A and B are shown apart, each in its own frame.
Chain A
Amino acid sequence: MATPVKVHGPPLSTAVSRVLACLIEKDVPFQLIPVNMAKGEHKSPDFLKIQPFGQVPAFQDEAISLFESRAICRYVCEKYAEKGNKGLYGTNPLAKASIDQWVEAEGQSFNPPSSVLVFQLAFAPRMKLKQDESLISQNETKLEKVLEVYEKRLGESRFLAGDEFSLADLSHLPNAHYLVTATDRGEMFTSKKNVGRWWGEISSRDSWKKVVDMQKQST
């Protein structure tokens, strides 16, 4: 039976994998619709109708068409509150506020430098593009400062927003995964006592392992 939930985009994309991890945590069946980015399909008029910025992912269900991975995740968590991991986005306003705070921190402080490093160190070599050493160096310094804040926080709290795994931790999985497994900068995470412990826990969740499998199968 076809499910109405569709995610458009390649599982190798960090933003797409963020949405996939969320759907799997929430036990929501979905169809993954490939988008051939090498052929520029993400810039085609048809695709721009569902994602006007010409980026992945795009998301559709029977009610709505959405983009922006974190907005999609929040929608999935609200709509399917009773399914799968019920606490993923908190079960009360205070828990949700703490999760939102760390999702924002991920989006505003962690994502920018880690995205640059993922592109420069994991993707550019495979695409035979020249790496920009000064950009790498600047963003390593920025990311290091962010991870120092995380090291302190994760010494006080098991997960970023509290005692339970949440959307805030999940949001970090895609970029951190590439940095740890596809570059030589993994020790930025693994050499820190608390960040290393946290990374070990969140990356071994069944939902993330399934996403990684989907990524491997797509190559």
Chain B
Amino acid sequence: MSVMKVHGNSFSTSTQRVLAFLYEKDIEFQFVNVDMAAGEHKSENFLLLNPFGQVPAFEEGDLKLFESRAITEYIVQEYNDKGTQLLLPGSNKTMAVLQLWKEVEAHRFNPPSTKLVFELHYKPFFGMATDTAVVEESEAELAKVLDVYEARLAQSKYLACDHFTLADLHHLPNVHYLMGSSAKKLFDSRPHVSAWVADIMARPAWSKVLDKQKQ
């Protein structure tokens, strides 16, 4: 059986998305560090794994994949019986609800939260100046998204259903960084969102991802 390889960087939110997933599913894999400071992600060799020159990239035997959400989607179907149940098994209908909230994360939550993570976490870390106009605009956009989440989470314990699924998991990396920033107020001020955030961040698989950064 082929070993799974994840090429990435433990500080990258997209890499963390895949790591959190593999830890939840208790799947063995080899982590191959990509030295982004040295520009390794733009090297010819790496571009063969991800033509966009971004992390993560994934290999299993002959299969090569990129895009964190396509990677988790493939593995979650193939390894449905292993580790935590992250799907909504059953009908097309129940799977569609899961797909919907995965798309909401990808297209509604991700854009403004990624901008905020960049401005409030990565830029200070690299000694760059935060653009307050971008922060204001992105916080306003994220606030509207979180209003929808607040209404949803008042009716449903997790986004897609009453148990933790891939749709919730995909949020972890950006949520984690934002809860360590001034944008925390957007989550704290919404009771159902706040409870959901506390719940998903307390998962042992997420702690393992944070431990990896210390290695």
Binding site for B on A (CB under 8 A): 52-53, 63-64, 66-68, 70-71, 74-75, 78-79, 93-94, 96-98, 100-101, 103-105, 107-109, 112, 146, 149, 152-153
A101 CA / B66 CA spacing, docked (Å): 6
Contacts A100-B73, A103-B70 given; does A70 touch B108 at CB 8 Å: no
A97 touches B63 (CB 8 A): yes
Judged by DSSP, the binding face of B is helix
B89 contacts partner chain A, Cβ-Cβ < 8 Å:
no
A52 CA / B101 CA spacing, docked (Å): 12
Contacts A52-B148, A97-B74 given; does A104 touch B67 at CB 8 Å: yes
B51 touches A153 (CB 8 A): yes
Residues of chain B contacted by A104 (CB below 8 angstroms): 67, 69-70, 106
Binding site for A on B (CB under 8 A): 51-52, 63, 65-67, 69-70, 73-74, 77-78, 91-93, 95-97, 99-100, 102-104, 106-108, 111, 144-145, 148, 151-152
A93 touches B77 (CB 8 A): yes
Beta-carbon nearest neighbor of B94 in chain A: A64
A100 touches B106 (CB 8 A): no
Beta-carbon nearest neighbor of B75 in chain A: A97
Residues of chain B contacted by A101 (CB below 8 angstroms): 65-67, 70
A-B pairs with CB below 8 Å: how many?
80
Judged by DSSP, the binding face of A is helix
Residues of chain A contacted by B103 (CB below 8 angstroms): 68, 70-71
A105 touches B52 (CB 8 A): yes
A94 touches B63 (CB 8 A): yes
Residues of chain B contacted by A74 (CB below 8 angstroms): 96, 99
A100 touches B152 (CB 8 A): no
Closest CB in chain B relative to A218 CB, distance in Å:
24
Closest CB in chain A relative to B160 CB, distance in Å:
11
A53 CA / B147 CA spacing, docked (Å): 9
A210 CA / B199 CA spacing, docked (Å): 47
A63 touches B74 (CB 8 A): no
